[in-house]
Amino acid sequence: MWATKNRQKIISKQLKPLLLSHIKENSIKKEIFIDCMNCVEDHIHILLSLSIDQTISKVMQLIKGESSFWVNQQNIIKDKFEWQDEYIGLSVSESAIDKVRAYIKNQEQHHSKKTFEQEYQEFLTAHGFLASNLAKAE
């Protein structure tokens, strides 16, 4: 999961299908297996599998860098398209994959009740990424 730069709401209804399609096509070429993905105006969720020779940082570089370059080359939007530098990458157990797929597929419904900022903070807290949680763990 990662957001647009400064969490700008720049993924329009027109851009969304083009962006998702391009990410999928580019990922196939780069041998990145995407199980499912979805985005809303300011962020994206992707469920993917890493091969033995892939790292999450390299895959994020390939997906994020290439997709923002592509959007800007196509002049699809008037502003410069950028992703934020950070991302959250978590492993998912086999037993939770269907739940994660459903969560990703229902992003529009989910974000009608909760902002990205709320979701992001919940992910950080739930998975121990906040400094206050890390300090408690020590």
Partners of 39 in beta bridges = 44
Pairing relationship of beta strands 2-3 and 33-40 according to DSSP bridges: unpaired
Superfamily of domain 2-137: Transposase IS200-like (3.30.70.1290)
**pTM strictly above 0.85:** no
Q: Which tens digits make up the pLDDT trace of 76-111?
A: 898 899 999 988 888 899 999 999 999 899 877 766
The percentage of the chain sitting over the pLDDT mark of 90, rounded to a whole number, equals 65
Of the two residues 111 and 9, the one the predictor is more confident about is 9
Does residue 49 contact residue 32 with C-beta atoms inside 8 Å? no
Q: Is the pLDDT of residue 124 over 90?
A: no
Q: Is the pLDDT of residue 19 over 80?
A: yes
Confidence of residue 138 (pLDDT cuts 50, 70, 90): very low
Confidence of residue 51 (pLDDT cuts 50, 70, 90): very high
CA distances from 48 to 1, 44, 53, 59, 124 (A): 11, 13, 14, 10, 20
C-alpha 38, offset from chain centre: 8
Q: Where are the domains of the chain?
A: 2-137
Q: Is the pLDDT of residue 135 over 60?
A: no
Take residue 107 and report the two structure tokens written for it.
């992003």
Can you tell me whether residue 45 is helix, strand or coil? strand
